[in-house]
Homo-oligomer: A and B are copies of this chain.
Amino acid sequence: MTSQDVILGILMKRSLSGYDIKHMFETIFSYFYNASFGTIYPTLSKMEKEGLLTKESVIQQGRPNKNVYSITEEGQKHFKAYMYSPIQTNEFKSDAMTRLFFGEFIEVEVIIEYLENGVTSTKEDLERLRKMYENGKSNSLMSQTQELCIQIGIENMESTLRTLMAGIERLSNLKVEEGQNESG
């Protein structure tokens, strides 16, 4: 799975500009995919040259022109080929988890701070996801599988949140015990 596959998938439903695609990465895709402009624009140009997409310049009033890309039949073939190819394992690298893992080498307070930041940002992400879910559901903008997708995201975040909060409690108790040992 590369950005090309994902972009092709996005263009299956409607024609969009690179800027629009970036917006989708930052919203509904945010919890399982992402790509920067530095990837999106060159990928779109490349695919147009290869005949997977066609470009149309759209002149807008009060806004810069934009290049709207549409998927061709050849592009649809490529997308289908991706969808039937062997599935790749998830790529996951977590700085937060890594630091937690090595927590014994620094002060408990710092770890608690990590976890508290984790709680804050997870809560924000969760709120955003829930809003997207409610919004998409009430407007019937989501397919059945997209709904499932977002549910997995929400439930994973909820689970992470629970564990994070339990962790803070446990480490806080640990800190209190340490303090008692020092003074006692």
> Does A58 sit at the interface, judged by CB under 8 A?
no
The answer on a CB contact under 8 Å between A106 and B84 is yes
Give the nearest-CB partner of A158 in chain B: B159
Measured CA separation A156–B167 after assembly (Å): 14
The answer on a CB contact under 8 Å between B171 and A152 is no
Mask, A76-97, CB within 8 Å of B = 1, is 0001100110011111111111
Give the nearest-CB partner of A82 in chain B: B99
Of B28, B84, B160, the contact of A152 (CB 8 Å cutoff): B160
Name the interface residues of A20-70: CB closer than 8 Å to any CB of B. 28-29, 31-34
Classify chain A's interface size.
35 or more
The answer on a CB contact under 8 Å between B96 and A90 is yes
> Does A140 sit at the interface, judged by CB under 8 A?
no
Q: DSSP majority for the A interface?
A: helix
The answer on a CB contact under 8 Å between A164 and B144 is no
Name the interface residues of A102-140: CB closer than 8 Å to any CB of B. 102-106, 110-111, 114, 117, 121
> Does A100 sit at the interface, judged by CB under 8 A?
yes
Q: Which 10 A-B pairs have the closest CB atoms?
A: A103-B145, A32-B97, A159-B159, A88-B95, A1-B95, A104-B143, A32-B94, A9-B102, A91-B93, A148-B167
- A interface with B by C-beta (< 8 Å): 1, 5-6, 9, 12, 28-29, 31-34, 79-80, 83-84, 87-106, 110-111, 114, 117, 121, 143-146, 148-149, 151-153, 155-156, 158-160, 162-164, 166-167, 170-171, 174
